[in-house]
Amino acid sequence: MARISGKLDPNGRLVRLGEAIRDERQRIGISQEALADEAGLDRSHLGRIERGERNVTLLNLVRIADGLGLRTSDILSRAEL
């Protein structure tokens, strides 16, 4: 999964998605480490996803949503996607 440049994501959709994930994680009061663990992801990878630096795949998005106790569609709605 390549680093995402502005050209690939001109509308900042990945940044909005990352913010929605981070906001929900902070709302329920868990660390990035704890969510990464829950989702079975590497913490630094989750960090890049939260910063909008990765074009996250559907299955990883589902794992993150599961870790937050949300439906994947809920996260996308909050990110207005």
Task: Kindly state the tokens that stand for 9.
Answer: 């994501």
Of positions 21, 35, 41, 56, contacts a copy of itself by CB under 8 A: 56
Within residues 23-52, the interface with a copy of itself by CB under 8 A covers none
**Span of 25-33, 36-44, 70-78 interacting with a copy of itself by CB under 8 A:** 70-78
Return the number of other C-beta atoms located less than 10 Å from residue 16's C-beta: 17
For residue 68, the number of C-alpha atoms closer than 13 Å in the C-beta half-sphere is 23
Q: Name the site residues for a copy of itself (rule: CB under 8 A).
A: 1, 4, 8-9, 13-14, 17, 55-59, 61-62, 65, 71-74, 76-77, 81
